[in-house]
Structure 1
Amino acid sequence: MSAAPPGLLNLVQWLSPAFPTGGFAYSHGLEWAISAGEVRDGASVERWLADVLRFGAGRTDAILLAQALAAEADLDALTDIARALAPSAERLRETEDQGAGFAAATAALTGFDLAPRPLPVAVGQAARTLALPAPQVLALYLHAFAANLVSAAVRFVPLGQTEGQRVLAALHPLIDALALEAATATLDDLATSALRADLAAMQHETMDVRIFRT
């Protein structure tokens, strides 16, 4: 008898802030939005992250991850799609660098030969061995994605720790809904319209002083 399936604990470890993907160094363009005054408190952080999840990389990453979980998935094709969906150089670097770090660390733990891929495809590549329900994998991935950006906001807005946790908790229903949607979506459902977040990522590339890589 086990308190939690071993696969679930593995996934929680892989998606935790302690896992060496370097996620703490990326703000997904949020640093520029904060410096420009577009994001300045808990309410505006929550709105920004909800839009990124619902209309931007959150949803597209979840669909790519769901596709990568399938045993018959063409991971090379998904890698090409993930790269093509990156709207800027920094966004591409963000998903590729974290994906490479994730694959390397996971391979060292599991002994599996995992190729470096964009982050959602890399996670799917590894998580397909865990025999977990797809919605559960997607929800934990989206939660980790949101939590990393909340952490960036806590450090740079700055927000208090409690306010940051309130923002993250408020995103839970959206994360759950997106995970369920993405689990049954197809590649034809891929789309993004988080234009302000994409522009923020582009603007971040030209900032003179910054503390995050993206």
Structure 2
Amino acid sequence: MSQALLSLVQWLSPAFPTGAFAYSHGLEWAISEGEVRDADTARGWIADVLRFGAGRTDAILLAHALKGHDLDALTDLARALAPSAERLRETEDQGAAFAAATAALTGRMLPARPLPVAVGQAAASLGLPVAQVVALALHAFAANLVSVAVRFVPLGQTEGQAILAALHPLIEDLAATAAEAPLETIGSAAFRADLAAMRHETMDVRIFRT
């Protein structure tokens, strides 16, 4: 295993200080409303977010950042794609934290950008295959959502790991597609997840920031 791959795994691990554990991506609202209530509904919700929502859009943004696309243009697009105030803060705050943490480790100062663009601008120097980087980023995103479900549904740890394992084929397919997808094909259709993020903003009691 290369040092570059180990660096990427470290950057995308739950221990890396981006604060990912504090964000539910609207899943907290879905759980509180009973729409996500067990392992099956959690797996379905997360799969839809990956296939039709931020998973897909972030994967395409990341792929183009890795390929050297105009990072300022990608930053503007990533911000425009955020469907709610909380979603915008989620991607910007995590992206800023990611850039700061990688700069502290590598000595390479990078501007704060939305998370998929921030990961792309840092990981481009590693020289890893685009699909591999995208797959690991999608896996980290999915793992965080599974962790939310484990803590808040709640689910058992084994159930959570079974959900994540079941998502592996989807993650692999999405990464392969995103690695070759033209930027013009970007878009999402996870409307229920977007509405969940909006409704999360007005919850009286909540654990997660989004």
Taking the aligned partners of 2:122 and 2:51, their CA distance within structure 1 comes to 25
Taking the aligned partners of 1:90 and 1:97, their CA distance within structure 2 comes to 10
The aligned amino acid for 1:155 is R
Matching residue of 2:42:
45
The aligned amino acid for 2:144 is N
Matching residue of 2:80:
84
SS in 2 for 1:158: coil
1:208 aligns with 2:210: no
The aligned amino acid for 1:53 is L
- What displacement does 1:118 show? 0.2
Taking the aligned partners of 1:147 and 1:37, their CA distance within structure 2 comes to 21
Taking the aligned partners of 1:182 and 1:159, their CA distance within structure 2 comes to 31
Within the candidate set 106, 115, 120, 2:116 is matched to 120
Matching residue of 2:193:
197
Within the candidate set 90, 97, 102, 2:98 is matched to 102
TM-score (norm 2): 0.99
Within the candidate set 23, 27, 41, 1:26 is matched to 23
Structure 1 unmatched ranges of 5 or more:
none
Structure 1 residue runs of 4 or more that deviate by more than 2 Å after TM superposition? none
- What displacement does 1:113 show? 1.4
Matching residue of 1:54:
51
Taking the aligned partners of 2:187 and 2:127, their CA distance within structure 1 comes to 28
SS in 2 for 1:16: coil
Matching residue of 2:164:
168
The aligned amino acid for 2:148 is A
Matching residue of 1:16:
13
- What displacement does 1:187 show? 1.0
- What displacement does 1:21 show? 0.1
* Root mean square deviation, CA, Å: 0.4
SS in 1 for 2:126: coil
Q: CA offsets per residue over residues 104-153 of structure 1, 9 Å max, x none? A: 00011011111000000000000000000000000000000000000011
Q: CA offsets per residue over residues 66-87 of structure 1, 9 Å max, x none? A: 000013x210000000000000
Matching residue of 2:128:
132
Aligned residues: 210
SS in 2 for 1:95: helix
1:93 aligns with 2:82: no
Matching residue of 1:7:
4
Taking the aligned partners of 1:6 and 1:186, their CA distance within structure 2 comes to 30
Within the candidate set 60, 67, 72, 2:64 is matched to 67
Taking the aligned partners of 1:175 and 1:43, their CA distance within structure 2 comes to 17
The aligned amino acid for 2:44 is R
- % identity of equivalent residues: 77
1:182 aligns with 2:168: no
Taking the aligned partners of 1:151 and 1:134, their CA distance within structure 2 comes to 26
Structure 2 unmatched ranges of 5 or more:
none
- What displacement does 1:191 show? 1.0
Taking the aligned partners of 2:93 and 2:58, their CA distance within structure 1 comes to 15
The aligned amino acid for 2:98 is F
